[in-house]
Amino acid sequence: MKLYTKKAHELHDLLVNKEISAAELVRAQAERIEAAEPKVQAFITRTLDDAMAQAAKVDAKIAAGEAIGPLEGIPMALKDNMCTDGVRTTCASKILHNFVPPYDATVVTKLKEAGAILMGKCNMDEFAMGSSTENSRFFATRNPWDIERVPGGSSGGSAAAVAAGQAVFTLGSDTGGSIRQPAAFCGVVGMKPTYGAVSRFGLVAFASSLDQIGPFTRDVRDNARVMNAIAGYDLKDSTSAPVDYPDYEALLGQSVKGWRIGLPKEYFGEGIDPEVKAVIEKAVKVLEGLGAEIGECSLPHTEYALPVYYLIAPAEASSNLARYDGVRYGYRSEEAPDLITMFKKTRAEGFGEEVKRRIMLGTYALSSGYYDAYYLKAQKVRTLIKGDFDQAYEKFDVLLSPTSPTVAFKFGDRTDNPLQMYLSDICTLSVNLAGIPALNINAGFANGLPVGLQLMGKAFDEAKLLQLAYAYEQATGCHSQTPDLGV
């Protein structure tokens, strides 16, 4: 039995029926990580000893006849920007290479309480800045569908680990597309929840008005299951939303007949690879066949999303990253005769090129004289972008687009040209600016590489996105293919 291709809900049933034990599952998972890692390189840190101890506890519970929860005993991994008590959390940066948090992020606490078992921490672009995971200061992660290609980013390790069978599910963070775009490139399900739906307490901040945590899974049911575990109000995060959160999994399986799906025309125009477009158009036909009503709509300020994002995100990053000064935690330059030199050298040596580029862009945009011209103006246009979505949702329940204009690209293709790398996120940025939820599912393949479909919803409409995605998955079996790594 190839346990590493199984979904969490299938593994849960195997555990409950005593066909496997949690110890066997964790051991098999560790073997799979070992076998695939030379090719994929998804992990910065592995936590096998702790995992075996956790598994023993779950097995004791099962042996005693106690019921186990839906994620109990299931192996998972986390993007390395979520704080884990006693386990190194690096953000793939030299400046945090030795940082061991003294506490767990809220999502980690919740998943531990749910009994999920941590196998390790996943590679990413440094401080989540990037779209290919090539900005990690440690090494590049490879796409399991073609190891000559990037897995996407910034949560590339988390996406690749799920695709390669190295974890049943993982968490990533999405500031401008960092869950959905790597999910698209790796052919897995990735949810960017509504701003405020999942606590960010213990997430290392990049751009605080945009960052959200969400799950990568091998199918939609698992995604709903992990959302059930992590969504909810948290007193420790002042941006957390005190609303009622539904049981996402229980709502799956309903008919989508009569649902109104809008295709924003700006997401189907120039710049979208014709092969990607063809796969998406075919997916639209499937949904039409399921009884959904399809119509065109417009999000007229879409062209401003990229400049607005690349002002607001760096501005917030320049402020958030001011805390890395070599004093409080992480790396400190050895070569400093005085305090000011120590600050300068620590930051010069500790941060990579892209992080420095963002800090400079952001500091400039916030500086006196330029604040009104750049930052304030960007905030005003952000409101217009949000307004576009509000209007579209008057007519439609869900909007649909490609997740990325292309399939996974080759290593080095975009590293020399930051603007070209930024364009990778053209389909995902607006969602973060508007604070709404969006889900990537695999729509099909172009030349053997996965093509991602993005479903965008109204704030707190995650359940609808999951229902629609589930209907598509059931109709097409799009989740049943896994990459062959030859190991």
Active site residues: 79, 154, 178
The two structure tokens encoding residue 426: 């053209």
- Report CA-CA distances (Å) from 16 to 62, 69, 401, 461: 7, 10, 39, 32
Report the nearest approach of ligand GLN to the CB of residue 172 (Å).
9
Binding segment toward ligand GLN, per CB under 6 A, in 98-106, 125-133, 222-230, 472-480: 125-133
The answer to whether 8 and 169 are in contact (CB under 8 A) is yes
Helix, strand or coil, per DSSP, at residue 423: helix
Q: Give the binding-site size for ligand GLN (rule: CB under 6 A).
A: 13
- Comparing CB distances to ligand GLN, the nearer of 130 and 187 is 130
Binding segment toward ligand GLN, per CB under 6 A, in 5-13, 157-165, 173-181, 360-368: 173-181
Query: What binding mask, one character per residue, do residues 399-428 give for ligand GLN by CB under 6 A, x or -?
Result: --------------------------x---
Going by the DSSP 8-state scheme, the letter that residue 82 receives in this structure is B
Interface residue with ligand GLN among 178, 194, 240, 406 (CB under 6 A) is 178
- Site membership for ligand GLN, residue 321 (CB under 6 A): no
- Site membership for ligand GLN, residue 154 (CB under 6 A): yes
The answer to whether 82 and 171 are in contact (CB under 8 A) is yes
Interface residue with ligand GLN among 163, 313, 431, 468 (CB under 6 A) is 313
Report the nearest approach of ligand GLN to the CB of residue 91 (Å).
11
- Site membership for ligand GLN, residue 183 (CB under 6 A): no
- Site membership for ligand GLN, residue 136 (CB under 6 A): no
Helix, strand or coil, per DSSP, at residue 3: helix
- Site membership for ligand GLN, residue 134 (CB under 6 A): no
Q: What is the DSSP string of 208-237?
A: TTT-EEEEEESSHHHHHHHHHHHBS--TT-
Interface residue with ligand GLN among 59, 72, 126, 174 (CB under 6 A) is 174
- Site membership for ligand GLN, residue 131 (CB under 6 A): yes
The answer to whether 115 and 60 are in contact (CB under 8 A) is no
Q: Nearest 5°: phi and psi at 50?
A: -60, -40
Binding segment toward ligand GLN, per CB under 6 A, in 84-92, 129-137, 241-249, 279-287: 129-137
- Site membership for ligand GLN, residue 191 (CB under 6 A): no
Report the nearest approach of ligand GLN to the CB of residue 92 (Å).
12
Report the nearest approach of ligand GLN to the CB of residue 438 (Å).
12
Binding segment toward ligand GLN, per CB under 6 A, in 103-111, 127-135, 237-245, 374-382: 127-135
Can you list the pairs that 224-227 forms with residues at least 24 positions away whose Cβ atoms lie under 8 Å? Answer: 224/248, 224/249, 224/251, 224/252, 224/463, 224/466, 224/470, 225/8, 225/9, 225/70, 225/71, 225/249, 226/8, 226/71, 226/169, 226/171, 227/191, 227/193, 227/462, 227/466
The answer to whether 74 and 117 are in contact (CB under 8 A) is yes
β-strand partners of 263: 296
Q: In which element (H, E) is residue 45 found?
A: strand 43-46
- Site membership for ligand GLN, residue 212 (CB under 6 A): no
- Site membership for ligand GLN, residue 466 (CB under 6 A): no
- Comparing CB distances to ligand GLN, the nearer of 313 and 468 is 313
Binding segment toward ligand GLN, per CB under 6 A, in 58-66, 126-134, 255-263, 325-333: 126-134
- Site membership for ligand GLN, residue 311 (CB under 6 A): no
Q: Nearest 5°: phi and psi at 221?
A: -60, -45
Interface residue with ligand GLN among 3, 30, 74, 129 (CB under 6 A) is 129
Q: What burial class does residue 66 get, using C-beta atoms within 10 Å of its C-beta: 0-12 exposed, 13-18 middle, 19+ buried?
A: exposed
Report the nearest approach of ligand GLN to the CB of residue 210 (Å).
8
- Comparing CB distances to ligand GLN, the nearer of 131 and 170 is 131
- Comparing CB distances to ligand GLN, the nearer of 21 and 302 is 302
C-beta neighbour count of 328 within 10 angstroms = 9
**Edge-to-edge strand list for the sheet holding 189-192:** 43-46, 117-122, 75-79, 169-174, 212-217, 189-192, 438-446, 449-457, 398-402, 260-264, 293-297
The answer to whether 427 and 405 are in contact (CB under 8 A) is yes
Report the nearest approach of ligand GLN to the CB of residue 428 (Å).
7
Q: What burial class does residue 372 get, using C-beta atoms within 10 Å of its C-beta: 0-12 exposed, 13-18 middle, 19+ buried?
A: exposed
- Comparing CB distances to ligand GLN, the nearer of 315 and 463 is 315
- Site membership for ligand GLN, residue 130 (CB under 6 A): yes
Helix, strand or coil, per DSSP, at residue 182: helix
Helix, strand or coil, per DSSP, at residue 446: strand
Continuous H helices in 132-208: 156-163, 180-186
- Comparing CB distances to ligand GLN, the nearer of 177 and 196 is 177
- Site membership for ligand GLN, residue 156 (CB under 6 A): no
Beta strands in 62-202 (DSSP E): 75-79, 117-122, 169-174, 189-192
Binding segment toward ligand GLN, per CB under 6 A, in 35-43, 95-103, 170-178, 436-444: 170-178
Report the nearest approach of ligand GLN to the CB of residue 199 (Å).
17
Binding segment toward ligand GLN, per CB under 6 A, in 174-182, 249-257, 286-294, 369-377: 174-182
Binding region for ligand GLN (CB under 6 A): 128-131, 154, 174-178, 206, 313, 425
